[in-house]
Amino acid sequence: MLRSTPKPSRAARKPGSRFVFPVLAVGAIFQAIMQTVMVPLLPSMPGFTGAGPTAVSWLVTSTLLVGAVMTPIFGRLADMIGKKRMLLIAFSLMTLGSVVCALTSNIGLLIAARGLQGAGAAVLPIGMAILREVLPRDRVDRSIAVLSSTLGIGTAIGIPFAAAIVQFADWHLLFWVTTAIGTGVGIAAWMVVPESRSRTGGRFDTVGAAGLSAALICLLVPITQGSTWGWGSPAILSMFVASAVFFATWGLQQLRNRNPLVDLRVSAQRAVLMPHLSALLVGFAFYGNTLITTQLLQASSDRGAGYDLTILQAALCQLPASIAMMIFAIVASRISERFGPKATIMLGALFLVAGYSVHAVPDKPLGVVVTAIFVAAIGTSFVYCTLPVLLLGAVPLSQNAAANGVNVLLRTVGSTMCSAVVASVLAAHTLAGGIGVGGFVIAYVVCAACAVIVFAAAFALPSAHKRRPRPSAV
């Protein structure tokens, strides 16, 4: 008896659809590179632009702020009006930002351009939602796991790439290169990514978007500027209070809205809440592996703890993290398939604790530092690769991009909090032009504590991983 087969959708028949995953993976790596390329440049940017250190710090802050604000908004719009459309808009904004950075040294224009590049943070959640639609069911989990690991891969690649440009060429060349990459990725996405088969439609929650944006700005600005303005200053305290008020008001508005930007009732479910909490904490721990260690490697050993490495040498020491993220993304997926995501999250947290425990040992050889970077990156890969898989089975297809958008947002918030905490801890242990070993030890211990909380929170995750059935194409 012959079985009738459904007529393949236009998306399934479209030539080149098998290239969707590679294009999305390159696009996600490009986005991660854009978030990190400015880090090695920061010490030199006052000389390049004529601006003060406070203004220059906004070259990173503006990217984080816009990324945090736009990620849930772009995720919701992707579910409503089409994932491919919002993906192309994100690529276009990143590329436009690169063009402006390549053409100017004006600090105001550079800050605005870096803000445009922050919109690229939405690439990852949108890409995950696209993969859930277009790939066969047996490939979805593994592909999403690998795509999630690209954040660490891009970070590990972006820092040495930027450091090499700064050391051997004009810094504007860096953004001409990223312009070329962005253009290529955007064209490739336009050609091979199919149109969304699932759209929710409805009215966009403009009030909710404005409320969330105000709350995030009032939260992240004081976090990033607290060490500069003073944590007890009226401006910092006022913004924290305003953030709490905005979040409370926004939450009530979302609960009463029939078409909310973020479905808080779904987000409050244990299967969704625990991955979001883990994203916040691992975002903190992941960024510490890069931020703290980069400063430790470049610090002078004559005036405190340090290894006297150049910018490029310190950046190259981060490459093992990239290797770990690439290799162990596949390993994490296989562990999840055999033992469940809960076991993978817990194993990843243990790797993070082990890595930071080694990091916290003072006066260790350089090879041990690189080993600790590698071990912590394994833990990050395990957790990052598993979080979107957990959400995949916990939220409806119609909310997939929005849910992953919130998850990526919390990673960003965690990284931002890490930057503020590390800056304050190291500043408190600065002595005679250097940083005392105690400052680095405390910073690493804080990151290890975050990993311990992730391990404990994993006990609240469902033991069995239940996947929602994929709706048939129409």
Give all strands (DSSP E) within 376-438, no chain letters: 430-431, 434-435
For residue 267, count CB atoms less than 10 angstroms from its CB and return exposed for 0-12, middle for 13-18, buried for 19 or more: buried
Residues 6+ apart with CB under 8 A from 1: none
Instruction: Please give the residue range of the domain that contains residue 396.
Output: 16-195+261-458
Stated pTM of the model: 0.79
Query: Is 357 domain-assigned?
Result: yes
Looking at the structure, do residues 228 and 273 belong to the same domain, yes or no? Answer: no
Looking at the structure, do residues 347 and 439 belong to the same domain, yes or no? Answer: yes
| Residue entry with tokens 């593994």 | 142
| Residue entry with tokens 């790596």 | 29
Name the stretches of the chain with pLDDT < 70: 1-17, 151-152, 155-156, 200-201, 303-304, 397-398, 432-433, 462-474
Closest listed residue to residue 394, CA positions, set 254, 278, 259, 270? 270
Looking at the structure, do residues 252 and 271 belong to the same domain, yes or no? Answer: no
Query: Is 415 domain-assigned?
Result: yes
For residue 163, the domain's CATH number is 1.20.1250.20
Query: Is 312 domain-assigned?
Result: yes
pLDDT for 13? 40
Q: Which helix (H) or strand (E) holds 464?
A: none
Looking at the structure, do residues 384 and 348 belong to the same domain, yes or no? Answer: yes
Q: Taking all residues of the chain, what is their mean pLDDT, rounded to a whole number?
A: 83
3-state class (DSSP) for residue 261: coil
d(CA 122, CA 31): 9
Q: Are 51 and 45 in contact (CB under 8 A)?
A: yes
Query: Is 305 domain-assigned?
Result: yes
Give all strands (DSSP E) within 203-326, no chain letters: none
Sign of dihedral through CA atoms 281, 283, 289, 294? negative
Boundary-marking domain end, from 242, 260, 278: 260
3-state class (DSSP) for residue 434: strand
Which whole-number Å values give the CA distances from 454 to 177, 321, 347, in the listed order?
Answer: 38, 20, 10
Boundary-marking domain end, from 225, 245, 260: 260
Residues 6+ apart with CB under 8 A from 42: 56, 57, 59, 60
Looking at the structure, do residues 255 and 266 belong to the same domain, yes or no? Answer: no
Looking at the structure, do residues 81 and 176 belong to the same domain, yes or no? Answer: yes
For residue 270, count CB atoms less than 10 angstroms from its CB and return exposed for 0-12, middle for 13-18, buried for 19 or more: exposed
d(CA 468, CA 471): 9
For residue 367, count CB atoms less than 10 angstroms from its CB and return exposed for 0-12, middle for 13-18, buried for 19 or more: exposed
Give the number of domains in the chain.
Answer: 2
Looking at the structure, do residues 135 and 33 belong to the same domain, yes or no? Answer: yes
pLDDT for 241? 96
Residues 6+ apart with CB under 8 A from 133: 11, 83, 194, 196, 197, 198, 397
Q: Mind giving me the DSSP string for 79-119?
A: HHH-HHHHHHHHHHHHHHHHHHHHH---HHHHHHHHHHHHG
Looking at the structure, do residues 327 and 444 belong to the same domain, yes or no? Answer: yes
Looking at the structure, do residues 28 and 111 belong to the same domain, yes or no? Answer: yes
Query: Is 467 domain-assigned?
Result: no
Q: How many CB atoms lie within 10 A of CB 273?
A: 16
Looking at the structure, do residues 218 and 313 belong to the same domain, yes or no? Answer: no
Query: Is 165 domain-assigned?
Result: yes
d(CA 14, CA 141): 22
Q: Are 413 and 68 in contact (CB under 8 A)?
A: yes
Q: How many CB atoms lie within 10 A of CB 136?
A: 8
Looking at the structure, do residues 122 and 226 belong to the same domain, yes or no? Answer: no
Q: Which helix (H) or strand (E) holds 421?
A: helix 400-428
Query: Is 6 domain-assigned?
Result: no
Compute and round to an integer the Cα radius of gyration of the chain.
22
Looking at the structure, do residues 237 and 377 belong to the same domain, yes or no? Answer: no
What pLDDT digit, counting tens, does each position of 220-239 carry? 888 878 877 888 899 999 99
Query: Is 216 domain-assigned?
Result: yes
Q: How many CB atoms lie within 10 A of CB 271?
A: 17
